[in-house]
Chain A
Amino acid sequence: MTHFEDIFRKHYGYLLVMANGILHDPEESRDVVSEAFAAVWEQGRELHPNTARQYLAVCVRNSCLKRIARLQLRERVARLYPIELSLFATDIDREDRVQLIEQAIETQLDDYTRTIFKMCYLDKKTHREVAQCLGISIKAVDKRIGKALRILRETLNPKQQ
């Protein structure tokens, strides 16, 4: 196995998850990660095993943000992309945040709000679909999701309150 192949196999999965966390689009994420490896390959760049992951993560993140920057505001909102691209500037490593958010969802939201929140954000259902599923109004779903976002914001960014 070559050095390059070793790095590819070791970091591909991590980079793909990271790209998908930003783009929410598995196919587009695959393209971005492949392009990052292709750039390294084409340039004949030798990556050090200790810094390869960080270097590639920065390349992938920048590539994702470039794609987002090309989109109009409406398209960014529709795909839940950041408006300020600096949002992800220091957020390469997401493990800690994942744990914090999962914990907040489980402990800070009441059962009913958590159920609705998970249907929207994990199952990717629209508010209309959730409303139909639970026999409630779309407005009621809007309110619950809004409330959940408020609680999560207060939990994740306590200093800003």
Chain B
Amino acid sequence: MNDNILNTDREELVARLIDRPESFTDKQLEQILADDECRALYDTAIQVMHSIEPKLETNVEAEWNRFSMLHSRYRRSQRKWWKVAAMLAVVLMSGLAYATIQHMKQETWSEQKATESIVSDDTTTKTTENKQDTMQVQTSIAQPRTFENTSLDLLVGVLAEHYGMRVQVMNDEAGQLRLYYEWNPALSIEQVVDQLNTFEKVNITVNDHTLTIE
């Protein structure tokens, strides 16, 4: 390679630069592209590429479906419904709180009654109640949940908590991807991950009780 790379024929030099940039050092690259004539030829190549790039076959229907799935097609029209849903949630939470207080009162009353009668019966009652509590919790968790415009790392965090796993984010950029996803907790983590991995740029692996965003 010449000390002064520009001693070479410029047309040939630019053609080689575009085809085999690895054959030049960084300094030579800068030297070539700083030369007006070389730069003009390089820019011409870009103009040509910019113009004659083969037409892409575009399936607009498929692209729209993908887009609307990722960005919740009807979200704006559903905002009012979200407000209603939020109010309902508040009402339900209030009801749940009331029921819990009543339940605790009942439990205290039962304990007192049981203490007055037979101790072993009290234990049986409490065990049964505990089982019922557990069942109630599991039922509430098992409801499908919709994640809207939620970052992947947050979504995976929720999944990890539910399935008792750890989270490892190897790709921060992927972790910041925002998704629309309807999660069915009845599915296994492997099935959920398979669904998530159908999204473009999402690659999650399940290994050794760890969910890894790659």
Chain A residues with a Cβ under 8 A of chain B? 5, 8-9, 12-13, 16-17, 20-22, 24, 26-27, 29-31, 34, 37-38, 41-42, 44, 73-74, 77-78, 80-84, 87-88, 91, 94, 97-98, 101-102, 105, 120-122, 126-127, 139, 141-147, 149-150, 152-153, 156-157, 160
Contact = CB atoms under 8 A, between A and B. Distances in A.
B44 A24 contact: no
A102 B47 CA distance: 12
Interface in B45-78: 45-56, 58, 60, 63-64, 66-68, 70-71, 73, 76
A117 B20 CA distance: 16
Contact of B47 (A29, A101, A150): A101
Contacts of A121: 48-49, 52
5 contacts: A21-B51, A44-B76, A121-B49, A142-B15, A149-B11
B15 A97 contact: no
A69 B9 CA distance: 29
Given A16-B56, A17-B55, A73-B30, A146 B63 contact: no
A160 B44 CA distance: 12
A105 to B, nearest CB: 8
B67 A37 contact: yes
Contact of B63 (A12, A22, A160): A12
B12 interface: yes
A156 B30 contact: no
Interface string B5-23: 0000111111111111110
Contacts of B45: 80, 149
Given A12-B58, A149-B45, A77 B52 contact: no
Contacts of A152: 44, 48
- Chain A, interface SS category: helix
Interface of B: 9-22, 26, 29-30, 33, 39-56, 58, 60, 63-64, 66-68, 70-71, 73, 76, 149, 200-201
Greatest chain B CB density within 10 A among A21, A29, A81 is at A21
A127 B49 contact: no
Nearest to B49: A80
Classify the secondary structure of B's interface with A: helix
A61 to B, nearest CB: 11
Contacts of B48: 101, 121, 149, 152
B49 to A, nearest CB: 5
Given A12-B58, A127-B19, A142-B19, A83 B51 contact: no
A127 B20 contact: yes
Contact of A147 (B11, B70, B76): B11
B33 A97 contact: no
A146 B52 CA distance: 18
B53 A73 contact: no
B8 to A, nearest CB: 10
A78 B33 CA distance: 13
A15 B10 CA distance: 35
B50 A94 contact: yes
Given A8-B67, A143-B15, A150-B41, 19 more contacts: A5-B64, A9-B60, A17-B58, A21-B49, A21-B51, A24-B49, A26-B56, A34-B67, A77-B18, A78-B22, A80-B46, A84-B43, A87-B46, A97-B51, A139-B12, A145-B19, A147-B11, A149-B11, A153-B41
